Amino acid sequence: MYLGLDLGTSGLRGLLIDADQNVVASAEATYEVSHPHSGWSEQDPEDWIAALDAVMATLKSANRSALASLNGIGVSGHMHGATCLGADGHVLRPCILWNDTRSHVEAAVLDQLENTRELSGNIVFPGFTAPKLAWMATHEPQVFAQIDKVLLPKDYLNFILTGDAVGDMSDSAGTAWLDTGKREWSETLLSAGQMAASNMPRLVEGSQKAGTLKPELAAKWGVPDTCVIAGGAGDNAAAACGVGAMVEGDGFVSLGTSGVLLSAKDSYSPQPASAVHTFCHAVPNRWYQMGVILAATDSLNWLSGITGKTPAELTSELGDALTTPTDVMFAPYLSGERTPHNDSAIRGAFTGLSVSTSRSDMTQAVLQGVCFALRDSLEALKSTGTNMTSALAIGGGTGSTLWVEMLATVLDLPLEIPAEGEFGAALGAARLALTASTGSDPMSIMTKPDIARTIQPNTDHKAAYDAAYERYTQLYPTLKALT
pLDDT band at residue 412, thresholds of 50, 70 and 90?
A: very high
Mean pLDDT of 111-124: 95
How far is CA 261 from its chain centroid?
Answer: 11
Q: Could you tell me the sign of the dihedral formed by the alpha carbons of 231, 420, 12, 334, in that order?
A: positive
Look at residue 420 and tell me whether its pLDDT is greater than 90: no
Residue 145: CB atoms within 10 A of its CB come to 10
Residue 240 sits at φ, ψ, to 5 deg, of -65, -40
Q: What are phi and psi of 72, to 5 degrees?
A: -160, 150
Q: What's the pLDDT at 292?
A: 92
What's the confidence (pLDDT) of residue 397?
A: 93
In angstroms, the CA 128 to CA 302 distance is 24
What does residue 212 show for φ and ψ, rounded to 5 degrees? Answer: -125, 160
The size of the chain, in residues, is 483
Instruction: Give the separation between CA 435 and CA 426, rounded to whole angstroms.
Output: 14
Kindly tell me if the per-residue pLDDT of 212 is higher than 90.
yes
Count CB atoms within 10 A of the CB of residue 216: 10
> Considering 168, 235, 298, 343, which one is annotated as catalytic?
235
Residue 324 contacts by C-beta under 8 Å, 6 or more apart in sequence? 461, 464
Asked if residue 386 has pLDDT above 90, the reply is no
Beta-bridge partners for 166: 202
**Alpha-carbon distances of 444 from 16, 20, 145, 436, 439, rounded to whole Å:** 19, 12, 46, 13, 11
Q: What is the pLDDT of residues 78-113, one digit of tens each?
A: 999 999 999 999 999 999 999 898 999 999 999 999
User: What are 307-344's pLDDT values in tens digits?
Assistant: 999 999 999 999 999 999 999 999 999 989 989 998 88
Which DSSP helix (H) or strand (E) runs through 93?
none
Per-residue H/E/C for 121-181:
CCCCCCCCHHHHHHHHHHHCHHHHCCCCEEECHHHHHHHHHHCCCEEEHHHHCCCCCEECC
Mean pLDDT score, 226-240 = 96
Percent of the chain residues topping a pLDDT of 70: 100
- Of 325, 300, 322, which is closest to residue 470 (Cα–Cα)? 325
Average pLDDT in the chain: 95
pLDDT at position 329: 97
SS3 194: coil
β partners of residue 23 = 17
Measure the CA–CA gap between 401 and 261, rounded to whole angstroms.
18
Q: Which residues pair with 451 in a beta bridge?
A: 418
User: Is 235 labeled as catalytic in the residue annotation?
Assistant: yes
Contact 333, 479 (CB under 8 A): yes
Q: Choose the weakest-confidence range: 52-56, 274-278, 432-436.
A: 274-278
Using the predicted structure, report yes or no on whether residue 421 has a pLDDT greater than 80.
no
> In 3-state terms, what secondary structure has residue 54?
helix
Amino acid at 386: T
What is the band of 415 on the pLDDT scale with cuts at 50, 70, 90?
very high
What's the confidence (pLDDT) of residue 210? Answer: 98
Residue type, 46: E
Q: Is 263 helix (H, G, I), strand (E, B) or coil?
A: strand
Which H or E run contains 12? strand 11-17
d(C-alpha 331, C-alpha 351), whole Å: 9
Residue-by-residue DSSP string for 404-459? HHHHHHHHT--EEEEPSS--SHHHHHHHHHHHHHH---HHHHSPPPPEEEEEPP-T
Q: What letter does residue 7 receive in the DSSP assignment? A: E
Is this prediction's pTM over 0.85? yes
Own/partner contacts of 441-446, CB < 8 Å, gap of 24 or more, are: 442/207, 442/241, 442/246, 442/283, 442/284, 443/246, 443/247, 443/283, 445/21, 446/241, 446/242, 446/244, 446/246, 446/283
End-to-end Cα, the chain, rounded Å: 53
Q: Is the peptide bond before 270 cis (omega within 30 degrees of 0)?
A: no
Tens digit of pLDDT for each residue in 27-66?
999 999 999 998 899 999 999 999 999 999 999 999 999 9
Residue 175 scores a pLDDT above 90? yes
Contact 330, 361 (CB under 8 A): no
Using alpha carbons, list the distances in angstroms from residue 316 to 313, 319, 320, 364, 403.
5, 5, 8, 11, 11
Q: What is the pLDDT of residues 435-479, one digit of tens each?
A: 999 999 999 999 999 999 999 999 999 999 999 999 999 999 999
> Does residue 256 or residue 218 have the better pLDDT?
218
Q: Which residues pair with 454 in a beta bridge?
A: 416
Residue 95: per-residue pLDDT: 98
pLDDT at 483 over 90: no
